[in-house]
């Protein structure tokens, strides 16, 4: 048995990174290891259970008994201070949050290098002077911690696209461990509506949902649905999207917000095509969810979505422009794609939670062996 300290800023945001952390905890507990979680705020285990459909509780150490809603990225280093205070009680330290913390970790799952976000086209930290000013001190701090705390850590990441960014911006190699996707929940064999095109994600400008009305105007015979999760900052963006559709005079687009899981699963099951618009997406969990339900994916020809999930066109279609996207959607709606649909469903299982746990434990065991040597 190995005593493992997991460092994660907060489980209470219950997003993709938190699903990954939960799967790491389950994998390590299942392998007989003792797990302690270090976080900034007290874990809301009931909220985690409601979000992911299952519960797990481990001993936790935290700073705040409540959530502090301001200066989010600047709270993260405090998590590392908690971890540093208790790391002497652990044999291994695993950072699943991804950003660098002021704490030495034996294994770091880096979702994407923070240093790259300040240079990434389309990022708010590039396009907005305010956000650039807000982000710069954090970026400087991350570069400092890179020298102090990452030298002896093994790095894992979510795609070959992210691994290339880590090599470029950090000068380190990373092993690819695809993130866990709840494939079983979204698997569907339902008959499809060949005219329904679905897009799912958070309402945020980098997702490029403003392109949907423009694409829909070129594809009048198709019906487009965007089902997004909504944050307070996303409300203004959603209003702009609806106004854009109205100004273009398109009535074949619907923007939905915060659907219950059952309704979202029903949409996945009904839709024939899944449209993904983000450029240089690091991975793309919603794409895999859609594939599990039998949706044929049409994605921008960039990032981990195109390279890792679709294998550069083997399991779906890519596009580079709005015109090419519209033409591809029209073609897919007319063609017999049932054979591809079956291949897409099978491909989704390559990213299942069980696959993730197996690969993660292999990496963890290698790191533990190197530490003992």
Per-residue pLDDT tens over the stretch 181-218: 999 999 999 999 999 999 999 999 989 999 999 999 99
pLDDT band for position 98 (50/70/90)? confident
Query: 3-180+353-372, what's its fold?
Result: Rossmann fold (3.40.50)
pLDDT in tens, 218-273: 999 999 999 999 888 889 999 999 999 999 999 999 999 999 989 999 999 999 99
The pLDDT value given to residue 125: 58
The answer on pLDDT for 331 being more than 70 is yes
CA atoms within 13 A on the CB side of 53: 6
The pLDDT value given to residue 73: 65
- Of all residues in the chain, what percent are helix, strand and coil, respectively (each to 5)? 50, 20, 30
CA distance 365 to 33: 11
Domain with CATH 3.40.50.2000 in the chain: 3-180+353-372, 183-351
Share of the chain above pLDDT 70, in %: 90
CA distance 324 to 310: 17
Share of the chain above pLDDT 90, in %: 66
Alpha carbon distances (Å) from 216 to 240, 257, 300, 347: 16, 19, 16, 28
The pTM is what?
A: 0.89
The pLDDT value given to residue 75: 67
CB atoms within 10 A of CB 30: 10
We find that the CATH architecture of domain 183-351 is 3-Layer(aba) Sandwich (3.40)
pLDDT band for position 89 (50/70/90)? confident
């Amino acid at each position: 048995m190995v005593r493992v300290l997991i460092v994660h800023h907060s489980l209470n945001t219950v997003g993709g990174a938190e699903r990954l952390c939960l799967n790491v905890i389950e994998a390590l507990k299942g392998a007989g290891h003792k797990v302690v979680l270090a976080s900034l705020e007290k874990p809301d285990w009931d909220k985690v259970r409601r979000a992911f459909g299952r519960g797990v509780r481990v001993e936790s150490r935290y700073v705040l008994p409540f959530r502090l809603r301001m200066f989010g990225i600047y709270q993260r280093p405090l998590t590392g201070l908690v971890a540093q205070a208790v790391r002497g009680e652990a044999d291994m330290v695993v950072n699943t949050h991804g950003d660098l913390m002021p704490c030495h970790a034996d294994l770091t799952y880096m979702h994407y290098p923070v240093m790259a976000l300040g240079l990434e086209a389309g990022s708010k930290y590039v396009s907005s002077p305010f956000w650039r000013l807000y982000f710069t001190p954090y970026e400087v701090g991350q570069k400092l911690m890179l020298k102090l705390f990452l030298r002896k850590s093994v790095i894992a990441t979510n795609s070959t696209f992210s691994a290339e960014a880590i090599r470029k911006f950090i000068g380190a190699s990373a092993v690819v461990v695809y993130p866990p996707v709840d494939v079983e929940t979204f698997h569907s064999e339902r008959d499809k509506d060949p005219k329904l095109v679905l897009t799912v994600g958070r309402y945020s400008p980098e997702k490029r949902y403003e392109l949907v009305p423009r694409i829909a105007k070129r594809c009048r015979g198709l019906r487009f649905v965007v089902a997004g999760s909504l944050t307070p900052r996303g409300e203004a963006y959603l209003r702009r999207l609806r106004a854009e559709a109205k100004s273009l005079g398109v009535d074949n687009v619907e923007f939905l917000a915060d659907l219950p899981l059952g309704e979202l699963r029903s949409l996945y099951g009904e839709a024939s095509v899944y449209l993904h618009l983000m450029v240089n997406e690091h991975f793309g969990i919603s794409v895999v969810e859609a594939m599990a339900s039998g949706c044929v994916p049409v994605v921008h020809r960039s990032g981990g979505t195109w390279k890792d999930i679709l294998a550069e066109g083997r399991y779906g279609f890519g596009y580079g422009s709005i015109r090419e996207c519209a033409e591809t959607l029209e073609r897919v709606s007319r063609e017999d794609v049932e054979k591809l649909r079956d291949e897409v469903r099978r491909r989704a299982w390559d990213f299942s939670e069980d696959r993730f746990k197996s690969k993660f434990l292999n990496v963890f065991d290698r790191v533990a062996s190197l530490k003992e040597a």
